[in-house]
């Protein structure tokens, strides 16, 4: 109703559309906009009728419109035309209009548009129209035969049928992708009829060699299978047929899709799993020195198609192996993964592939040596295999194999041939295996195998920390941090680590030229220090070794020119304070004061935000935990007992926490201000019972403080707040409208810009300024 | 059928081009749209592959330089969409990218509902996937695909890339600048004759006003403001234009003997120096020379800025980061100075939507700042572009240098591109394309495929007295063997031997019916004399057994089993003589001349 009213009350709108049609030299953007606008109006049936009275719609969307003109060459216009129709197609009148004005034929041809966006939108529009036509009262009773289908739907389905039978692959692809969208998005009963009618044609595609548009075919079948597989007759058979007709590379994604389905016949699952396993089975068989342990796939191991693909060319081999590894890796953690899961042979395959890649395996068979020649030094397969190996750490394996896993990982970590990305993945996989290694029952320490491995690993890590490549040093440090976080308390780990030079090297990396590495070194030393593992054995002459780390980190915080190391320092400090690190606990007050002072001067917003996090931890230690963080929790935070509170406020004043927090409250970076606001609200709630408002509020001191705050708010933050008495602080907390501030801050920084007024302002401003600005990026 | 395909845009938004060349897929740049703050800011990668994994589809990603419209979507693409393959860029780009991406992340985090944005850790992880390339170094991505970087000017570390598979190649320019400026040199490329040159066309029609004009304009504005006691704020990104403007002001101050202080934001000098020291080979010659003599940021007039200076009275000029006025020092100073109409802010670069910089450039004069206050902007706002893009002349120059077979224009506006397209087609006689955003261009190429020729075959040719001569192509018959992706041309005997095959003779046969009542032998004689008279250039023989031969063609006459008045001619020939054979048959079908 409202749209109609709008059109009736503002005849200029319709005039505009007419004007657009008449105008000769119109920009494609305006024409595109007009088409979309007309579509929006015509989406309501009464508006549609209103526009039809003036015969406006055929002029816009029919053959006499832009469709026939020169403007049509602009993709923006074609796109606007489609979007306009997409919005318009909402009611039966629209359907009749579409059929009458010949729009459907144009949409057919737009499916092959040179613009991806237009082509894709055209396909979607067809589905939308089909859905609109087929839904409705008669839906459930429609037979698969077309006799009682609406004309519009018959036309579209006929077109799809023709396309499916076409010898031109692009046509087939278009038809398949329209169907994919239809089965993926439309849930009406009519889709079942559509499947009955079209599935024979789809199945006929499989008889061609090679199967045309195989990617799109896989997309379609999975889309159907995901929607409601049991209601589509013959689907499972089609899926099975497709699996056996596609090449191993093409069948992989389909196999994975099938295995991810919730309910699906066991035979099909077995077939699909076989396809994923085949490449690995081939590798295992080819690399076997003698007929060894049972392979991955009994009997089917030597599938000739897979072997052919693997040996046909390097890129085919690499592609197939990478896909198989990635697909199996994705499957591994899923609850619906095939059971029994062939953990041991898979482990064997991953190890074998890694060995073939590194050249340390020398198979004697023909296929084996050919594979070896292809894979040696291939980074892509190495990365994929390491990822897969990492994923396999979630399961167990026979000790012999696990030993092989660790030895191949070590081989990669040692090898000078490993690229930085391969090393990163090797570190990640090693970490996963280490952390999943079983604990010796009844003993909390590491098992002997792990212990042994660690002794070999640490010298390698040491070497990697000295790598000329920053990426490698960084990955090494990240690995060390993670390992320490989990094992810092294990005696075996501590022993091995302290016996190595790793802690000392880590400390040296605090002065690395690369800021990312410095940041990781900060995090790593912070973690080591938390467990008392940091550098230099506490020699009697130098008892302050630990203390010096704190000083060093403070130095980094106040002098490092890059943000990353400073942010890392703040994170370490926060963690130290939270965990009661010995050096911090010694004089927490001095520590907090020093850190806050450094953080408040920092230009990096995340350092300041982290400073507030640290302040909050300190507050909680003084006053007790914050209440539930749930914003809907009704319970107010408990107030602190007056004695504790007075004492706490004294401390907070001494460390100048308020100066820091109030400054942050008016910070020009919103997240900082938001955090500070939360912190002050928490403090105010805790301090509720402390004194009456008048006590300090009237003092002359108070007036000057409030004036300073106002100046801060206006952006002049030069002047310090000066020392505050606890009473003044409480008064101040009450006088500032924190709730109001919180609400404002919760709004997005561009909320003003998003408002209509702002849009208007932008448009007005654009008239004068634009043009020149548009084309420049720096 | 090998082809080169690219999807690109007539848009100065984001750059992201997909090239398929001889079966390899390469993504060129991975930019975000500077004008959008919603889903549209990143390219829609689902158009590349619907359900397949990107890592399997793409062979590599190449980033031309560190501007966000060329690399802004990279962490999203590699860490959130899940591309896990190699990313190539130059070393300076790898070092500077994170700074800009962090700025960008900050802007996004600042907005509501941006929880699903990339994190610092993702930016780092993304950068670790980068393989840094040196200029003019050929990098082998895999056995077939190689890339090579060329100097592009524009910004520190900007590069053009040549992508090559076999004999097919594409050159992608990224943004470039054909005239040296105060701190960077001019772009340069080999005469590499690529199948396709993809070039930016930001300033497609403008023969830009001389740079000197813009510099003079800049100096005039700064000078005027300082003269009337105002303060000038120049928000800059740590590198690039900042150095250029500093050099400019320093010289001007010296010449005009000005006293107003110029400041450079804290930490900026160290950072800039750090990068310039690292990447000195990327700057121009003059800077390289100066750098040896002294620290290039030890200026006489430009000093480090302290927070307290902002409040001091009197005129001054301050360079402060970040460049889009979205946070930090430049924003702090802006807030202090915005209310005074004597002051001026000069924006030397583009600003992302949603930043204070973008707002004031689009003319907003009342800004809602944090803490619920409205900041009225009374100071003057100036936008000055020092952006170093190639103009039409420069683009033509580059096309001339590289001598491509086809040109594809991207990163510009349709109308301006049309003009340039015509110019290029006229002057260089090559096809020029300008696809709209999302459009695909397919170019057929004719790659030369090397074929080895066996010694035996060559010797046989030589025996005929003809030496191979590259200027005189000659027809050579042989068998083409394709094995292990090698192509060899060998003699048929050798092919048979190598492949272990037996030779078979293929003969065509045909029956021709003639009305002739005489005996077969006589018919044969008539055929012989007829052919002898018609085919003067061929060797026609009458064999003792009564059959007739013309070269390898055999003709025998036989009686018709049913009709004694008809004779049957059996004609048979090898496939080598197919032409002669069919000619003969048709000749015989016309009948024999009456015996005279």
- The pLDDT confidence band at residue A772, using thresholds 50, 70 and 90, is very low
Q: In this predicted structure, what is the pLDDT of residue A178?
A: 95
B200 is catalytic: yes
Instruction: Please state, rounded to an integer, the average pLDDT across all residues of chain B.
Output: 83
Chain A residues touching B350 at Cβ < 8 A:
773, 776-778
C-beta contacts of B471-477 below 8 A and 24+ residues apart? none
The answer to whether B325 touches B356, Cβ cutoff 8 Å, is yes
Joined tokens for residue B502: 């037996």
Q: In this predicted structure, what is the pLDDT of residue A696?
A: 47
User: Which helix (H) or strand (E) is B316 found in, with range?
Assistant: strand B316-320
Chain A residues touching B56 at Cβ < 8 A:
319, 322-323, 326
Q: Does B589 touch chain A (CB under 8 A)?
A: no
Residue B148 CA to chain centroid, in angstroms? 11
Question: Choosing from B79, B168, B200, B382, which is the catalytic residue?
Answer: B200
Of the listed ranges A207-216, A503-512, B355-364, the least confidently predicted one is B355-364
What average pLDDT does the segment A637-660 reach? Answer: 81
Of the listed ranges A708-712, B20-24, B311-315, the least confidently predicted one is A708-712
Q: In this predicted structure, what is the pLDDT of residue A557?
A: 95
What is the b/e burial string over A181-208, where b = at least 16 CB atoms within 10 angstroms of the residue's CB? bbbbebebebbbbbbebbbebbeebbee
Position with higher pLDDT, B412 vs B313: B313
Decide if B349 and A114 are in contact by the 8 Å CB cutoff.
no
Tell me: the pLDDT tens digits for B287-328? 777 665 555 556 778 888 887 788 888 999 998 888 888 777
Joined tokens for residue A637: 């935070």
Architecture of domain B211-383: 3-Layer(aba) Sandwich (3.40)
What average pLDDT does the segment B325-333 reach? Answer: 82
Alpha helices by DSSP H, B263-347: 268-278, 285-293, 328-337
> d(Cα A380, Cα A377) in Å, to the nearest integer?
9
The answer to whether A278 touches A343, Cβ cutoff 8 Å, is no
Helices (H) and strands (E) in chain A, counts: 42, 0
Residue A213 has pLDDT above 70, yes or no: yes
Q: Min CA distance, B267 vs chain A (Å)? A: 6
Joined tokens for residue B321: 């980061």
Q: What percent of chain A has pLDDT over 90?
A: 47
Q: In this predicted structure, what is the pLDDT of residue A598?
A: 92
What average pLDDT does the segment A334-362 reach? Answer: 91
Task: Indicate the Cα dihedral angle A335, A339, A345, A350, nearest 10°.
Answer: -20
Specify the length of chain B in residues.
596
Q: Does B91 touch chain A (CB under 8 A)?
A: no
- The strand pairing partners of B132, in sequence order, are B89
Global ipTM: 0.85
- The beta-carbon neighbor of B370 closest among A76, A222, A670 is A670
- DSSP for B163-226 reads EEETTEEEEE--S--SS--SSB----------SEEEEE-TBSS--PPPHHHHHHHHHHHHHHHH
Instruction: Please state, rounded to an integer, the average pLDDT across all residues of chain A.
Output: 84
Tell me: the pLDDT tens digits for A486-498? 999 888 899 999 9
Other Cβ atoms less than 10 A from the Cβ of A16: the count is 15
Q: In this predicted structure, what is the pLDDT of residue A770?
A: 39
Chain B residues touching A383 at Cβ < 8 A:
84
Cα–Cα–Cα angle for A22, A27, A29, nearest 5°? Answer: 110
What average pLDDT does the segment B7-15 reach? Answer: 53
**Which B residues in the span 354-393 are in contact with A, Cβ-Cβ below 8 Å?**
354, 359, 361-364, 367-373, 375, 383, 385, 387
- The pLDDT confidence band at residue A585, using thresholds 50, 70 and 90, is confident
Q: In this predicted structure, what is the pLDDT of residue A172?
A: 95
- The pLDDT confidence band at residue A693, using thresholds 50, 70 and 90, is very low
Edge-first strand listing for the sheet containing B87-90: B130-133, B87-90, B60-62, B24-28, B17-21, B3-8, B439-444
> d(Cα A240, Cα A251) in Å, to the nearest integer?
11
Q: Report CA torsion sign: B45, B48, B52, B54.
A: negative
> d(Cα B370, Cα A665) in Å, to the nearest integer?
9
The answer to whether B87 touches B125, Cβ cutoff 8 Å, is no
The answer to whether A246 touches A266, Cβ cutoff 8 Å, is no
Cα–Cα–Cα angle for B234, B240, B246, nearest 5°? Answer: 50
Residue A298 has pLDDT above 70, yes or no: no
Residue B562 has pLDDT above 80, yes or no: yes
List Cα–Cα distances, A661 to A625, A673, A678, in angstroms: 19, 9, 10
- The beta-carbon neighbor of B112 closest among A563, A747, A765 is A747
Q: In this predicted structure, what is the pLDDT of residue A276?
A: 93
Specify the length of chain A in residues.
778
Joined tokens for residue B195: 């199948």
> d(Cα B205, Cα B409) in Å, to the nearest integer?
13
What average pLDDT does the segment B21-26 reach? Answer: 91
Alpha helices by DSSP H, A101-213: 103-110, 116-134, 151-165, 169-185, 190-205
Chain B residues touching A424 at Cβ < 8 A:
128
- The pLDDT confidence band at residue B521, using thresholds 50, 70 and 90, is confident
What average pLDDT does the segment B406-417 reach? Answer: 83
Joined tokens for residue B263: 């400041």
Q: What fold, for B2-207+388-440?
A: Metallo-beta-lactamase; Chain A (3.60.15)
Task: Indicate the Cα dihedral angle B55, B57, B63, B68, nearest 10°.
Answer: -80
- The beta-carbon neighbor of A253 closest among B51, B128, B336 is B51
Position with higher pLDDT, B139 vs B99: B139
- The strand pairing partners of B512, in sequence order, are B569
> d(Cα B573, Cα B584) in Å, to the nearest integer?
10
- The pLDDT confidence band at residue B9, using thresholds 50, 70 and 90, is very low
Query: Is-cis flag, bond preceding A219, omega within 30?
Result: no
Residue A194 CA to chain centroid, in angstroms? 36
Q: In this predicted structure, what is the pLDDT of residue B110?
A: 66
Q: In this predicted structure, what is the pLDDT of residue B298?
A: 65
Residue A539 has pLDDT above 60, yes or no: no
Edge-first strand listing for the sheet containing B452-453: B452-453, B486-490, B479-483
Chain B residues touching A670 at Cβ < 8 A:
110, 370
Q: What percent of chain B has pLDDT over 90?
A: 31
Residue A765 has pLDDT above 50, yes or no: no
- The beta-carbon neighbor of A319 closest among B7, B56, B328 is B56
Residue with tokens 């049957």: B568
> d(Cα A578, Cα A406) in Å, to the nearest integer?
36
Joined tokens for residue B586: 């048709």
Q: In this predicted structure, what is the pLDDT of residue A638?
A: 61
- The pLDDT confidence band at residue A406, using thresholds 50, 70 and 90, is very high
What average pLDDT does the segment A292-312 reach? Answer: 65
Position with higher pLDDT, B277 vs A595: A595
> Greatest CA span in chain B, whole angstroms?
130
Residue with tokens 């962090």: B102
Tell me: the pLDDT tens digits for B471-486? 777 777 889 988 777 8
User: Which of B441, B497, B402, B332 lies closest to A672, judged by CA?
Assistant: B332
All structural domains of chain B with their residue ranges: 2-207+388-440, 211-383, 451-466+474-499, 507-589
Residue B242 has pLDDT above 80, yes or no: no
Backbone angles phi, psi at B165, to 5 degrees: -130, 115
Tell me: the pLDDT tens digits for A44-53? 999 999 998 8
Q: In this predicted structure, what is the pLDDT of residue B482?
A: 85
Position with higher pLDDT, B246 vs A325: A325
Tell me: the pLDDT tens digits for A421-447? 999 999 999 999 999 876 655 556 778
- The pLDDT confidence band at residue A768, using thresholds 50, 70 and 90, is very low
Any idea what DSSP says for residue B569?
Answer: E
Q: In this predicted structure, what is the pLDDT of residue B168?
A: 92
User: Which of A430, A481, A510, A516 lies closest to B125, judged by CA?
Assistant: A516
DSSP helix/strand/coil, A122 = helix
pTM over 0.90: no
Please determine whether the domains at B2-207+388-440 and B507-589 fall in the same fold group of CATH.
Answer: no
Q: In this predicted structure, what is the pLDDT of residue B410?
A: 87
Residue of B438, B441, B484 for testing the chain A interface, max A β-carbons within 10 Å = B438
Joined tokens for residue B324: 């889009």
List Cα–Cα distances, A398 to A259, A345, A405, A426, A679, in angstroms: 26, 10, 11, 21, 53
Q: How many CB pairs under 8 A join A and B?
A: 209
Residue B198 has pLDDT above 90, yes or no: yes
- The pLDDT confidence band at residue A583, using thresholds 50, 70 and 90, is confident
Position with higher pLDDT, B48 vs B67: B67
Joined tokens for residue B126: 């993304």
Residue B383 has pLDDT above 60, yes or no: yes
Q: Min CA distance, A100 vs chain B (Å)? A: 30
Q: In this predicted structure, what is the pLDDT of residue A303?
A: 67
Q: In this predicted structure, what is the pLDDT of residue B86?
A: 94
Q: Say if domain B507-589 classifies as CATH 3.30.310.
A: yes
The answer to whether A161 touches A202, Cβ cutoff 8 Å, is no
Q: In this predicted structure, what is the pLDDT of residue A111?
A: 94
């Amino acid at each position: 109703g409202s749209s109609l009213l709008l059109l009736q009350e503002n005849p200029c709108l319709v005039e505009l559309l007419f004007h657009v049609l008449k105008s000769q030299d119109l920009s494609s953007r305006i024409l595109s906009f007009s088409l979309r606008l007309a579509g929006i109006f015509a989406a309501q049936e009464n508006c549609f009728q209103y526009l039809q009275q003036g015969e406006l719609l055929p002029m816009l969307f029919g053959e006499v419109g832009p469709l026939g003109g020169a403007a049509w060459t602009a993709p923006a216009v074609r796109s606007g035309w489609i979007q306009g129709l997409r919005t318009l197609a909402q009611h039966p009148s629209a359907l009749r209009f579409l059929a009458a004005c010949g729009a459907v034929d144009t949409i057919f041809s737009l499916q092959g548009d040179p613009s991806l966006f237009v082509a894709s939108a055209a396909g979607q529009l067809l589905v939308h129209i089909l859905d609109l036509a087929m839904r409705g009262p008669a839906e459930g009773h429609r037979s698969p035969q077309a006799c009682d289908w609406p004309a519009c739907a018959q036309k579209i389905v006929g077109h799809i049928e023709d396309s499916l039978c076409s010898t031109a692959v692009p046509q087939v692809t278009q038809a398949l992708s329209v169907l994919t969208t239809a089965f993926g998005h439309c849930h009406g009963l009519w889709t079942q009829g559509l499947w009955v009618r079209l599935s024979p044609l789809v199945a006929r595609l499989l008889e061609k060699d090679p199967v045309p548009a195989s990617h799109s075919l896989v997309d379609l079948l999975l889309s159907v299978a995901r929607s409601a597989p049991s209601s589509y007759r013959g689907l499972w058979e089609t899926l099975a047929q497709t699996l056996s007709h596609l090449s191993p590379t093409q069948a992989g994604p389909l196999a994975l899709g099938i295995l991810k389905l919730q309910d699906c016949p066991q035979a099909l699952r077995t077939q699909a799993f076989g396809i994923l396993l085949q490449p690995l089975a081939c590798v295992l068989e080819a690399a076997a020195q003698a007929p060894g342990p049972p392979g991955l796939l009994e009997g089917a191991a030597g599938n000739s198609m897979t072997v052919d693909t693997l040996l046909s060319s390097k890129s085919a081999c690499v592609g197939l192996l990478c896909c198989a590894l990635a697909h199996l890796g994705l499957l591994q953690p899923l609850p619906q993964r095939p059971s029994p899961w062939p953990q041991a042979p898979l482990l064997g395959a991953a190890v074998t592939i890694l060995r073939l890649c590194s050249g340390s395996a020398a198979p004697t068979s023909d296929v084996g040596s050919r594979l070896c020649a292809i894979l040696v030094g291939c980074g892509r397969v190495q990365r994929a295999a390491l990822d897969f190996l990492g994923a396999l750490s979630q399961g167990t394996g026979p000790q012999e194999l696990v030993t092989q896993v660790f030895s191949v990982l070590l081989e990669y970590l040692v090898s000078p041939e490993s690229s930085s990305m391969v090393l990163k993945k090797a570190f990640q996989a090693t970490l996963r295996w280490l952390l999943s290694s079983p604990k010796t029952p009844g003993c909390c320490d590491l098992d002997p195998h792990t212990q042994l491995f660690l002794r070999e690993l640490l010298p390698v890590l040491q070497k990697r920390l000295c790598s000329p490549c920053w990426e490698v040093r960084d990955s090494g440090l990240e690995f060390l941090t993670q390992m320490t976080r989990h094992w810092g308390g294990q005696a075996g780990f501590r022993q091995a680590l302290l016996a190595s030079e790793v802690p000392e090297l880590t400390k040296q990396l605090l002065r690395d030229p690369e800021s990312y590495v410095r940041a990781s070194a900060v995090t790593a030393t912070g973690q080591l220090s938390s467990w008392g593992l940091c550098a230099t054995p506490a020699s009697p002459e130098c008892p302050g070794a630990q203390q010096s780390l704190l000083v060093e980190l403070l130095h980094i915080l106040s002098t490092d020119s890059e943000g990353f190391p400073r942010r890392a320092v703040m994170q370490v400090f926060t963690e130290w304070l939270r965990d009661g690190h010995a050096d911090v606990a010694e004089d927490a007050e001095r520590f907090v004061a020093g850190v806050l002072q450094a953080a408040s001067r920092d230009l990096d917003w995340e350092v300041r935000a982290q400073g507030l996090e640290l302040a909050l931890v300190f507050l909680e230690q003084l006053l007790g935990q914050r209440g539930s963080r749930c914003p809907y929790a009704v319970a107010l935070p408990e107030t602190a007992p007056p004695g504790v509170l007075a004492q706490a406020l004294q401390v907070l004043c001494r460390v100048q926490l308020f100066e820091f927090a109030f400054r942050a409250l008016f910070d020009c970076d919103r997240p900082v201000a938001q955090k500070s606001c939360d912190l002050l609200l928490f403090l105010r709630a805790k301090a509720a019972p402390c004194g009456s408002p008048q006590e300090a509020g009237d003092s002359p001191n108070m007036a000057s403080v409030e004036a300073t705050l106002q100046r801060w708010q206006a952006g002049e933050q030069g002047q310090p707040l000066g020392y505050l008495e606890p009473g003044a602080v409480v008064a101040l907390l009450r006088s500032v409208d924190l709730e109001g501030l919180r609400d404002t801050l919760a709004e997005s920084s561009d909320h003003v810009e998003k408002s209509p007024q702002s849009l208007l302002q932008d448009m007005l401003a654009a008239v004068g300024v634009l043009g020149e600005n548009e084309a420049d990026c720096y | 059928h090998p082809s080169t395909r690219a999807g690109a845009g007539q848009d100065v938004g984001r750059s992201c081009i997909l090239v398929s060349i001889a079966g390899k897929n390469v993504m060129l740049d991975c930019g975000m749209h500077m004008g959008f703050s919603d889903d549209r800011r990143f390219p829609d990668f689902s158009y590349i592959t619907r359900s397949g994994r990107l890592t399997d589809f793409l062979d590599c990603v190449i980033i031309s330089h560190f501007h966000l419209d060329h690399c802004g979507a990279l962490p999203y693409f590699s860490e959130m969409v899940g591309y896990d393959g190699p990313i190539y860029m130059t070393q300076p780009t790898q070092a500077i990218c994170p700074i800009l991406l962090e700025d960008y992340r900050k802007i996004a985090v600042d907005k509501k509902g941006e929880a699903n944005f990339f994190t610092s850790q993702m930016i780092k992880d993304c950068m670790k996937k980068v393989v840094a390339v040196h200029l003019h170094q050929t990098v082998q991505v895999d056995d077939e695909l190689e890339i090579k970087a060329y100097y592009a000017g524009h910004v520190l570390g900007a590069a053009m890339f040549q992508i090559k598979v076999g004999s097919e190649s594409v050159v992608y320019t990224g943004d470039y600048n054909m005239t040296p400026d105060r701190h960077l040199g001019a772009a340069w490329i080999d005469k590499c004759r690529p199948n396709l040159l993809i070039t930016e066309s930001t300033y497609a029609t403008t023969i830009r006003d001389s740079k000197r004009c813009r510099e003079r304009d800049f100096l005039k504005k700064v000078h005027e403001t300082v003269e009337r006691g105002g303060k000038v704020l120049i928000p800059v990104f740590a590198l690039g234009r900042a150095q250029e403007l500093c050099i400019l002001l320093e010289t001007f101050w010296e010449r005009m003997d000005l006293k107003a202080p110029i400041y450079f934001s804290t930490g900026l000098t160290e950072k800039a120096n750090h990068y310039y020291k690292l990447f000195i080979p990327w700057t121009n010659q003059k800077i390289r020379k100066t750098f040896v003599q002294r620290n290039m940021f030890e200026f006489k007039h430009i000093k480090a800025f302290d927070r307290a200076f902002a409040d001091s009275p009197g005129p001054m000029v301050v360079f402060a980061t970040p460049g889009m006025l979205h946070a930090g020092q430049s924003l702090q100073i802006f807030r202090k100075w915005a209310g005074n109409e004597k002051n001026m802010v000069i924006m030397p670069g583009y600003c992302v939507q949603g930043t204070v910089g973008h707002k004031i450039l689009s003319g907003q004069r009342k800004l809602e700042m944090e803490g619920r206050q409205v900041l009225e902007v009374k100071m003057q706002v100036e936008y000055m572009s020092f952006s170093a893009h190639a103009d039409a002349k420069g683009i033509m120059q580059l096309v001339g240098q590289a001598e491509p077979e086809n040109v594809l224009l991207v990163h510009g506006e349709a109308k301006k591109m049309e003009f340039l397209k015509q110019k290029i087609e006229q002057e260089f006689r090559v096809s020029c394309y300008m696809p709209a955003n999302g459009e695909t261009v397919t170019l057929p190429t004719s790659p030369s495929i090397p074929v080895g020729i066996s010694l035996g075959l060559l010797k046989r040719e030589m025996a005929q007295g003809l030496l191979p001569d590259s200027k005189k192509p000659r027809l050579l018959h042989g068998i083409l063997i394709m094995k292990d992706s090698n192509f060899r041309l060998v003699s048929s005997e050798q092919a048979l031997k190598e492949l272990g095959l037996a030779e078979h003779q293929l003969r065509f046969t045909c029956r021709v019916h003639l009305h002739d009542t005489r005996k077969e032998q006589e018919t044969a004689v008539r055929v012989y004399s007829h052919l002898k008279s018609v085919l003067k250039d061929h060797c026609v023989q009458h064999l003792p057994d009564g059959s007739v031969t013309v070269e390898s063609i055999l003709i025998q006459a036989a009686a018709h089993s049913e009709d004694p008045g008809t004779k049957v001619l059996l004609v048979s020939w090898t496939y080598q003589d197919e032409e002669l054979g069919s000619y003969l048959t048709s000749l015989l079908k016309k009948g024999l001349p009456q015996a005279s």
